[in-house]
Amino acid sequence: MLKSFTIIAVAAVGIGVGTNYYLQRVPDMPKLDLNRWWGDGDKPNQEDETIRPFKIIFNDTIIDDLKMRLRNRRPYTRPLEGMQSEYGMNTIYLEKLLKYWQDEYRFKERADLLNRFPHYKTRVQGLDIHYIRVKPEAKGKRVLPMLLMHGWPSSSKEFDKIIPMLTTPRDEYDFIFEVIAVDLPGFGFSEGTNKPGLNPVQIGIIMRNLMKRLGFNKFYIQAGDWGSQAATHMCTVFPDEILGFHTNMPLSSRPISNVKYILGSLFSSLIVESKHRHRMYPLKDLLTYLVRESGYFHLQATKPDTIGAAIADTPAGMAAYIFEKIGICTNRKQLHTQHGGLGNIDLDDLLDTATILWANERITTSVRLYAEAFAWSEVFIVQDIPTKVPTAAINFLHEVVYQPDWILRDKFINLVHSTTLDFGGHFAAMQTPKELVDDIFMSTVEFLKFHARNK
């Protein structure tokens, strides 16, 4: 009996040690081609590295075609009695949005508003990449380069409220930002690829090469959603080139972090602050939310071209599809309203996003990112390697997933600043721009202190 118990105990200890080793081990960095060609055909002997000014134009052909399609759509099935947004996009509210888009949205004025910033394009690894670059006028202050990276279904337009805030001097800070707000490949006005494999790691390489093209060997990053994932990989692959990373979607995807999240439910009262506990536990609430809201994710991660083909020809269908997800990620507690969370974001901002997506035919190239992110082993390897880059996290209330600092540090070992707010959502630059920018400035102070200590 004693012998059997001893064998079981030794086996249990062995399993525990082995499991801990597996979870804590750090894989080797995969070999990455930093100049991989994503353009049509084979890589030419001489690449075009020119930087060209660019202007956003919604011409009459695009506008007339869009309005015709909106006008000629079929009427929608009304919501079920007593239902608002519980079954998805409320078609009564959608009718209001589409009518405004068709009759009142000022296409050319909105383009002019976006063009108040200098826009450019340049070819990086074969793809035409669009970006905004704004240099501040700030005598006597240090100018720090900051790359802004968006997610789906956005573009650099998502940052048009925070760009002036980041480039306007503040008396209490001795620095200011030069902003480069980019459209990810296959999003906005940036070209997509016809080659498989353009995952978040590869996008991070393109973004790093863009910044080097612009003369920045070291820079800061602010990002959310897929931009945050690509930025996280940049921090891991190029740790000596990123001076600081600020994210409004902080996420550690290391296996140890997932185990901690699950095991933490057994001891939540001991390890999670009471005021934030509801953001993580009980796990059944999180799982219910993820099952209810992740259908689009599964579709885009497995059959992106199907949904792309389904809505590429219908602006009304495309709007319904993307607006429903924007709404739920802005405020998940508002399914009982007609707007389903969309009422928290300015209507023109929503329609800017839809118009850019429609005018550039980017729905299929943008949703493919979900599939690419799960199809390549290099993504899973890189995300399991901790980064030394000083990192700052801001957690808005309705972000998709909340991880406390003790989990985030699995990936971001130098988490130097952390903020948790009881409001806001996923599209922070559009919904809560002031709070986002205030936190960027405060975080940058910590980044500078970190580097001063580690010279």
Catalytic site positions: 225, 370, 426
Spatial distance between the Cα atoms of 404 and 406, rounded to a whole number of angstroms: 6
Spatial distance between the Cα atoms of 59 and 119, rounded to a whole number of angstroms: 17
Cβ atoms of 221 and 145 closer than 8 Å: no
Q: Which amino acid is residue 52, in one-letter code?
A: R
Spatial distance between the Cα atoms of 272 and 194, rounded to a whole number of angstroms: 46
| Angle (CA) 342 347 348, round 5° | 145
221 by DSSP, 3-state: which?
A: strand
State the sign of the Cα–Cα–Cα–Cα dihedral 176, 178, 183, 189. Answer: positive
Beta bridge partners, 181, equal 132, 148
| Cβ count near 317 (within 10 Å) | 16
Beta bridge partners, 131, equal 120, 182
Tokens of 92: 């009564």
163 by DSSP, 3-state: which?
A: helix
